[in-house]
Amino acid sequence: MSIETLEEARRQVNICNACRYCEGYCSVFPAINAKRQFSDGDITQLANLCHGCRGCFYACQYTEPHEFAINLPRILDEVRQDSWQEMVYPKTFARSFHRHGVAIALALIAGIGFLIWAMKTYGGSGGDGFYALMSHNVMVALFLPAFLLPFALIAASLRSYWRRVDGQPVKWAQVRAAFASAAAMKNLSGGHGDGCNFEEKERFTRLRKHLHHATMYGFLLCFAATSVATLMHYVFDMPAPYGPFDLPKLLGVPGGILLSLGTLGLAALKLKADKDLSDRRVWGGEMAFVLLLFFVSTSGLALYYFGQSVWLAELLAVHLGSVFAFFLLTPYTKMVHGFFRLAALVRDAQR
């Protein structure tokens, strides 16, 4: 992590600690006010606790052209990005995917190409629906490692983060408080409860909060649909394909719609937002990842609605290829922010 970036963040945080005008805006400022000196671990914790709502910037009287030149959202975003790239393994991948949207696009193309190859090589199992193109066992053999390996890397990254921020043994009440804050997107409500300034500068809105809710809960519904389908297949001997009123479809279709709407809206907001209030180095990578997530959900919905057409093979390859790319890239893209932010909320609950 850049020493210059950490020192600049420490300078700005010390000024905020002296001013305290924004102490009710989000969880970052009570955490600042609880300290008198800030170690590198403290700065890393504050950066990952920040949700980038930008309300503090528009309220601050010390932004440029003032000589203090406070821009807390941007400097914390730079520290946050550096912390993710430093702690994930291997670091080279993190730097590439965080900063270059082209790399994500190439990974998506490679994922789709790999799935097309796999379908041609191992397809024709004689099953129904998708399994006529690729057997269930082949799908599991391909996707289980692509799912487990990234989450093992994320777990190792979080362990490094916990050591950096001097995390203590975790209690259930702290985990419950962190999940409650994340579920309600508490830190995107602003200190007054009217929302944040991400896309409208001095005008407060809840739009970004609602779009984050749609994205998060849409993803969780899709994950729940996949988990339920796995249980139905292995425990209750109820293999796919499933009908429109079966539980996997009742969870997955609304989840896909929410995820598509949420990611599309977040991409639109990102185009409107002031780039000087975030880490410009990673703008392309973040936008590419949001669009990848949109592509995953939208291709899944297309596969559901047009799965009986002559385009089944192509739709399946595109959807599974994008899912494959998504899971493999999870430790190295903006997706990892959810895990680090949840860890930061747990650490803040300990404070």
Express each pLDDT in 122-145 by its tens digit. 665 555 556 666 666 777 777 788
Q: 75 with 96, same domain? A: no
Please state, rounded to an integer, the average pLDDT across all residues of the chain.
86
Does a structural domain hold residue 110? yes
The amino acid that residue 186 corresponds to is K
Q: 316 with 181, same domain? A: yes
Report if pTM > 0.85. yes
Q: 11 with 94, same domain? A: no
CA distance 170 to 148: 24
pLDDT at residue 32, rounded to an integer: 95
Q: 61 with 149, same domain? A: no
Does a structural domain hold residue 264? no
Q: The domain containing residue 330 runs over which residues?
A: 88-208+276-350
| Cβ atoms of residues 113 and 318 within 8 Å | no
Q: 186 with 308, same domain? A: yes
pLDDT at residue 200, rounded to an integer: 64
| Cβ atoms of residues 119 and 316 within 8 Å | yes
Q: 98 with 74, same domain? A: no
Last residue in a domain, options 61, 85, 109: 85
Token readout for 175 is 């985990």
Q: 69 with 149, same domain? A: no
Does a structural domain hold residue 124? yes
pLDDT at residue 137, rounded to an integer: 72
CA distance 27 to 349: 10
Name, in order, each residue with C-beta under 8 angstroms of 299's C-beta and a sequence gap of 6 or more.
315, 318, 319, 322
Does a structural domain hold residue 268? no
Q: 301 with 324, same domain? A: yes
Does a structural domain hold residue 251? no
pLDDT at residue 130, rounded to an integer: 63
Last residue in a domain, options 85, 118, 133: 85
Does a structural domain hold residue 250? no
**Range 309-319 burial, b when 16+ CB lie within 10 A, else e:** eeebbebbbbb
Q: 74 with 96, same domain? A: no
Does a structural domain hold residue 105? yes
Q: 71 with 193, same domain? A: no
Q: Which residues of the chain have pLDDT under 50?
A: none
Q: What is the domain count for the chain?
A: 2
Q: 99 with 64, same domain? A: no
CA distance 302 to 306: 6
Q: 163 with 104, same domain? A: yes
Instruction: Return the closest-CA partner of residue 101 out of 275, 267, 285.
Output: 285
CA distance 247 to 216: 20
Last residue in a domain, options 85, 112, 139: 85
Does a structural domain hold residue 243? no
